[in-house]
């Protein structure tokens, strides 16, 4: 496709999305829920077709020597397809707060001031490898009254096309505007460049993928961006931690799934935590095939541990590699997180309420856990239905972004003919 044609195509998609977003206001909660239920049924009915198309993308990814973490994100097993449907089912169950008046108050001047929760308008999703985002984003945007433009990575094009076909089929059957959900079907990278300039039509951009993608979108976009750059998540094992609990949470936070943004990448252990338990945790991680890179104190525990570089402390590995540091107190742990962390998710394991209180108040991340695996930092697990992304910024949305993060409040003012003197 020529550059002029790509630009025209993107403009057409954006105008259609903008027009479609205005039709959502008159749709009832029941209509939206029935649409999502139909998408679930059509996904279930077409599971084999989805896997067949997904296998084409996986074969191409292997041939192109794409990283294992990305191939893992790309892969749709029957369990993951069911999980997508579960996410939609959870969205159906979430109460619809759109267009309801809240915080109403009659002023002394005679006017009544209320607030109404409304959709943002048009959301553009730019993402790599994760075809489940296609369904999560469509479901969340449809329920929250937004239209959405989806631009998945070229490595998932076959999977995204079949999922989009299922969504379109469901939109048509439910008499919704076909352009409420659109997929950018060209894999030409210039499509993204044009998309980032469509500030007259698009209200927010949400990128999900590698650091280079997030940086590019943040730098080049004329449109507000909801994003997180890295998932350099930390677990701090306090001196008051229960030994078995600490081992269980540490192992789960790292090894339950490597290639995800809420996996632990750095383990911080208080020097007065049980030496035997520290050794047990380290040895178990090594036995499970996790490469450990640690400080000099950590190196003394097991000679297989490599000395960590300064870069290692900053790194989101998305692989069976873990940085480990022995710290002298909770303040050193907090300072380490402040210096090297990405403000995504951090956890403290402790049986001391004062230590937990200090950690949760001071650590400046979008999710802070106590005695809980970092793997729970997820919209579905938080009861948001699904998540359209995670924000480590402080404005508008923070943490996993669900339905409410795709809306905002406008003022609605009424009176019986009041004029200002």
In a domain, 207, yes or no: yes
Same domain? 266 vs 183: no
- Per DSSP, the residues of 134-203 read HHHHHHHHHHTT-EEEEE--GGGHHHHHHHHHHHHHHHHHTT--GGGEEE-----THHHHHHTT-TTT-S
Domain boundary among 192, 227, 262: 227
- Given this model, what pLDDT does residue 259 score? 83
Which of 336, 358, 376 is the endpoint of a domain? 376
**Is residue 117 a part of any domain in this protein?**
yes
Question: 62 with 86, same domain?
Answer: yes
- Residue 293 confidence (pLDDT): 98
My answer on whether 212 and 240 are in the same domain is no
Residue 396 located in a structural domain: no
348 and 222 within one domain: no
Look at residue 1 in the predicted model and tell me its pLDDT: 64
- Whether 204 and 348 share a structural domain: no
Position 77 in a domain: yes
Q: What is the mean pLDDT of each run of 10 residues along the chain (421 residues)?
A: 86 97 91 98 97 97 89 93 94 92 94 96 93 94 97 95 98 97 94 95 92 90 89 96 97 94 97 97 97 96 96 95 98 97 95 97 94 92 80 81 90 93 87
| 185/250 same-domain check | no
Written in H, E and C, the secondary structure of 367-379 is EEEECCCHHHCCC
pLDDT (0 to 100) of residue 229? 76
Domain CATH number, residue 282: 3.40.309.10
Q: Residue 392 domain-assigned?
A: no
Cβ–Cβ contacts within 10 Å for residue 108, how many?
5
Q: Is residue 404 part of a domain?
A: no
Please tell me the total count of domains within the chain.
2
401 is a domain residue: no
166/210 same-domain check: yes
Does 249 lie in the same domain as 223?
Answer: no
CATH number, domain of 107, equals 3.40.605.10
User: 313 is in which domain, residue-wise?
Assistant: 233-376
For Cα atoms 76, 82, 84, give the angle at the middle one, nearest 5 degrees: 75
97 with 240, same domain: the answer is: no
Q: Which of 227, 260, 283 is the last residue of a domain?
A: 227
Same domain, 7 and 43: yes
Q: What is the reported pTM?
A: 0.83
Residues 179 and 308 grouped into a single domain: no
* Residues 179 and 214 grouped into a single domain: yes
- 187-to-7, 151, 184, 395, 420 alpha-carbon distances in Å: 13, 9, 8, 32, 56
**In 3D, which of 383, 340, 386, 384 has the Cα closest to residue 364?**
340
């Amino acid at each position: 496709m020529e550059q002029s044609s790509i630009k025209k195509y993107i403009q057409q998609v954006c105008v259609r999305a903008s027009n479609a977003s205005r039709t959502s206001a008159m749709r009832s909660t029941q209509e939206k829920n029935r649409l999502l239920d139909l998408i679930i049924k059509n996904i279930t009915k077409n599971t084999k077709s989805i896997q067949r198309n997904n296998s084409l993308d996986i074969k191409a990814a292997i041939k192109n020597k794409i990283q294992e973490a990305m191939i893992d994100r790309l892969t749709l097993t029957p369990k993951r397809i069911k999980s997508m449907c579960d996410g939609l089912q959870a969205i159906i169950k979430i109460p619809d707060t759109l267009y309801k008046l809240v915080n109403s108050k009659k002023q002394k001047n005679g006017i009544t001031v209320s607030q109404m929760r409304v959709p943002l308008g048009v959301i553009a999703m730019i993402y790599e490898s994760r075809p489940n985002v296609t369904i999560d984003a469509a479901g969340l945007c449809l329920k929250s009254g937004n239209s959405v433009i989806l631009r998945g990575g070229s490595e998932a094009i076959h999977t995204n096309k079949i999922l989009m076909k299922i969504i379109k089929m469901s939109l048509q059957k439910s008499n919704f505007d076909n352009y409420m959900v659109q997929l950018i079907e060209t894999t030409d990278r210039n499509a993204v460049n044009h998309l980032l300039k469509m500030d007259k039509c698009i209200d927010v951009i949400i990128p999900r993928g590698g650091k280079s993608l997030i940086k590019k979108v943040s730098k080049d976009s004329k449109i507000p961006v909801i994003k997180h750059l890295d998932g350099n998540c930390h677990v701090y094992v306090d001196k008051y931690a229960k030994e078995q609990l600490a081992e269980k949470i540490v192992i789960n936070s790292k090894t339950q799934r490597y290639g995800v943004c809420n996996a632990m990448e750095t383990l911080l252990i208080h020097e007065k935590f049980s030496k035997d338990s520290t050794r047990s945790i380290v040895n178990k991680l090594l036995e499970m095939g996790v490469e450990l890179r640690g400080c000099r104190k950590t190196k003394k525990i097991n000679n297989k541990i490599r000395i960590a570089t300064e870069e290692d402390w900053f790194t989101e590995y998305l692989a069976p590699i873990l940085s480990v540091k022995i710290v002298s107190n909770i303040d050193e742990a907090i300072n380490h997180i402040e210096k090297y962390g990405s403000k995504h998710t951090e956890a403290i394991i402790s049986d001391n309420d004062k230590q937990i209180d200090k950690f949760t108040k001071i650590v400046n991340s979008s999710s802070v856990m106590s005695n809980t695996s970092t793997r729970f930092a997820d919209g579905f697990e938080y009861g948001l239905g699904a998540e359209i992304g995670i924000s480590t910024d402080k404005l508008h949305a923070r943490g996993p972004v669900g339905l409410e993060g795709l809306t905002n409040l406008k003022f609605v003012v009424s009176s019986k003919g009041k004029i200002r003197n």
